[in-house]
Structure 1
Amino acid sequence: MTVELVVSALPGELRAAVLRDDVLQDLVILRDDAAPQAGDLFFGRVQRFDKGLDGAFVDLGLERPGLLASRDAPDGLPPEGGTLAVKVVRAPAADKGARVSAKTLDLDPAVLKGLTAPTRLPAGAAPLKALFAASRPQQVVADDAALLRALKSDGGDCNFLLHSGALALFEARGLEETVEQLLGPRAELPGGGFLLIEPGQTLTAIDVNAGRHDGRGGQAAQAREVNLAAVPVIARQLRLRALSGLIVVDFLAMKGPEDRKAIAAALRKAVADDPEPCQVFGISPSGLLEMTRRRGRVPLHELLCRPCGLAGSGREKTPETLAYEALRHTAAEALGKVVTTITLRVAPATAVALEGPQAAARSAVERRLGRAIEIAGDPLVAGHELVLG
């Protein structure tokens, strides 16, 4: 099996994909301004102890303090008001603070000198190095020379390539289309079936559908075959979409208890290597299965999109997401071309992002191209339009 790590970076955003035999197996998108997720580092201040929880609440500078269990503080819990560096092991949710740990931080103490708690520490290349160590790729392809050098220091027997093609790296590898599909509700199954995946505030619902499955062997055989085909796809989709919490899967109904047990067992096996612990419960006669998955990373749809429509029932890409997309396309399209002007026409909200939060990313692309990028806000543009003059 060939394992490849594909890395694309702009100031403020890093995207990394693990491919096994050219099939996407893991996707990590990190943003400096995103909600905290597993692996993020903070310099926090102890607020108070809780004997019932056998730990302390640590002010991280977030809406809610993080919980540090005493077992996760190898040097002991500091006194109230004391400071320490911690790592997020469970991302905060809507009604819960983060779970943090002071174990295995691999942090230079000099980084903390002069800092005032609470503050978020820069991640640097640490998350990418962790993904590199976990995936053990034979080849790394990146569009950022500095990140490539950082990985080479841990490289061993690995091939490193710097991408400089006419297409943006993720687009050249077909990954942009995959990310778009992950933002939608539908995931295809082998044999013609499909999943409908609907994340909600209280749970994620997954509906298994037979679709165009040929149905040979009768209804019972079809249900078993479609359900078995759905199992590895469910495990993969949960990981790629970073879905967590309570998950309810509506499998096709199966009459035999042995078939239901077999599906539950297959799903337990499929999620066994998930980096976030999963617990799979039994399946009812009607086909409903409940499971849980620990919240590690921010769900993909929350990171890249925002609520829209009636009572926030829909989703649309955030201006920041659209800004990064426009910059990646501009960098790839204009690189190496003789042009005098570069104009990027975008929606007004995206223009604000490019002038503000994503200004550093825009400047990096301008330095790469050797030209300034003129931003033109246009309410008639949904995505972006690039004009080279």
Structure 2
Amino acid sequence: MKGMQVILGYHDGRSAAARMVDGRLDDLLIDAADDRPVPGTVFRAICDRPVKGQGGMFVRLGDGLTGWHRNAKGLAPGQALLVQVSGHAEDGKAVPVTDRVLFKSRYCIVTPGAPGLNVARSLTDDDERDRLLEIANETVPERDGTGIILRTACEGIEAEALIDDLTATWDLAQQVLSDDGRDAERLLDGPDAHGLAWRDWDGEASDDWDAVAHQIEALRRSDVNVGPATFHIELTRALVAVDVNTAEGGAGGLKANLSLAREIPRQLRLRGLGGQIVLDLAPMPKKDRKTFESALRGAFRSDPVETSLIGWTPLGHFELTRRRERRPLEELL
């Protein structure tokens, strides 16, 4: 099927969502079987102990969980503060959290401590921007130091739908922000797979989960065949290793590596992989490295997960780091 589809279903009784582009699996969300907090979860945390030399602090989250807040400036042990889970923690490690709490819905983001009313830059039509700002101002006229960002999905939306979404998101934010408890506690769960798909994906809705099941099965294997290249993606405790192979010699090395560059953002996204990633590329002349880097940078430009290209190692490997926003797919399957 041509175009974009958002398919909602279940995997082993857990909520799951898939985004298909022209019949090809482009993104995948599956809820975990355990109760570990997902990104977006809000806690009332208690500062525990700072870590000298790193500028961060461990915090108690409740539920027997420990969080890691990277910026301890101005914080003292025993202090209570609101934090939001910013990524997935590896097993046995503290949950990464931030005190920059955001309340995000399909049409808006409520930003405590960052006042102002703004529209996404991607909406360039002045009349539409003015219409959306007028609706938001009338819906939430008194904001008291809390801001609102109207998202790209607002374009062309009927006023009633935007008002309902704004009101619900604003009320939820105020409910959490007005909490005056003093003990560590989970205050708000992050969205599940269906909620994330509704919030962040566009496309024709479907419940035909069988259409994606066989493509999910292919993700159980480490090998990926793309054009002239076969590459293997393997998760270790320390890093993600990607090994590129090709039967072609000479210029075939560059062709294989360019095939990897185009495909690797999708594979990492589908497999939920992040952290340190090392690419063991097919042999190619050093003069072709800039061509490869340019292709890799362009491929990650449209990927929603923050990824940094680090560079080359003395052994000729290429390193990058990627935000851990999801659990590895092999854990979820």
TM-score under structure 2 length normalisation = 0.67
Superposed displacement of residue 247, structure 1? 1.4
2: CA distance, partners of 1:38 / 1:125: 8
Cα contact 2:17–2:193 (8 A) shared by 1: no
* Equivalent position of 1:200 in the other structure: 236
Q: Label 1:54 to 1:224 Cα distance change in 2 as closer, same or farther (>3 A).
A: closer
Q: Label 1:123 to 1:226 Cα distance change in 2 as closer, same or farther (>3 A).
A: same
Q: Label 1:250 to 1:52 Cα distance change in 2 as closer, same or farther (>3 A).
A: closer
Whichever of the two has the greater Rg, that structure is 1
Give yes or no for the alignment of 1:81 onto 2:78. Answer: yes
Cα contact 2:42–2:190 (8 A) shared by 1: no
Aligned residue pairs total 263
Structure 1 unaligned runs (5+)? 142-162, 164-168, 305-389
* Equivalent position of 1:381 in the other structure: none
* Equivalent position of 2:220 in the other structure: 183
* Equivalent position of 1:280 in the other structure: 309
Quick one: which amino acid aligns to residue 227 of structure 2?
Answer: P
Cα contact 1:13–1:30 (8 A) shared by 2: yes
Cα contact 2:43–2:84 (8 A) shared by 1: yes
1: CA distance, partners of 2:79 / 2:13: 30
| 1:326-351 alpha-carbon deviations (Å, 9 max, x no partner) | xxxxxxxxxxxxxxxxxxxxxxxxxx
Superposed displacement of residue 186, structure 1? 1.1
**Structure of higher RCO (CA pairs closer than 8 Å, 6+ residues apart):** 2
Q: Runs (4+) of structure 1 moved beyond 6 Å?
A: 111-116
1: CA distance, partners of 2:185 / 2:215: 35
Superposed displacement of residue 259, structure 1? 0.9
Give yes or no for the alignment of 1:6 onto 2:7. Answer: yes
Quick one: which amino acid aligns to residue 23 of structure 1?
Answer: R
Residue pairs, 1:130-209, within 5 angstroms = 130-135=196-201, 137-141=202-206, 163=207, 169-171=208-210, 173=211, 175-191=212-228, 193-209=229-245
Superposed displacement of residue 184, structure 1? 1.4
Structure 2 unaligned runs (5+)? 104-171
* Equivalent position of 1:21 in the other structure: 22
| 1:149-201 alpha-carbon deviations (Å, 9 max, x no partner) | xxxxxxxxxxxxxx4xxxxx322x1x11222221211111124x311111111
Cα contact 1:253–1:285 (8 A) shared by 2: no
Cα contact 1:57–1:68 (8 A) shared by 2: yes
TM-score under structure 1 length normalisation = 0.58
2: CA distance, partners of 1:20 / 1:197: 23
* Equivalent position of 2:281 in the other structure: 251
Superposed displacement of residue 240, structure 1? 0.9
After superposition, the CA RMSD in angstroms is 3.3
* Equivalent position of 2:88 in the other structure: 91
Residue pairs, 1:352-367, within 5 angstroms = none
| 1:80-131 alpha-carbon deviations (Å, 9 max, x no partner) | 4344442211222246422212334324454686988444456375764444
Cα contact 1:261–1:283 (8 A) shared by 2: no
Quick one: which amino acid aligns to residue 232 of structure 1?
Answer: R
Seq. identity, %: 32
Superposed displacement of residue 70, structure 1? 4.9
* Equivalent position of 1:220 in the other structure: 250
1: CA distance, partners of 2:330 / 2:77: 37
Question: SS of the counterpart of 2:27?
Answer: strand
Q: Label 1:295 to 1:10 Cα distance change in 2 as closer, same or farther (>3 A).
A: closer
Cα contact 1:205–1:247 (8 A) shared by 2: yes
Give yes or no for the alignment of 1:268 onto 2:333. Answer: no
| 1:276-301 alpha-carbon deviations (Å, 9 max, x no partner) | 32222334686522222121111111
Superposed displacement of residue 49, structure 1? 4.6
2: CA distance, partners of 1:224 / 1:10: 38
* Equivalent position of 1:292 in the other structure: 321
* Equivalent position of 2:246 in the other structure: 210
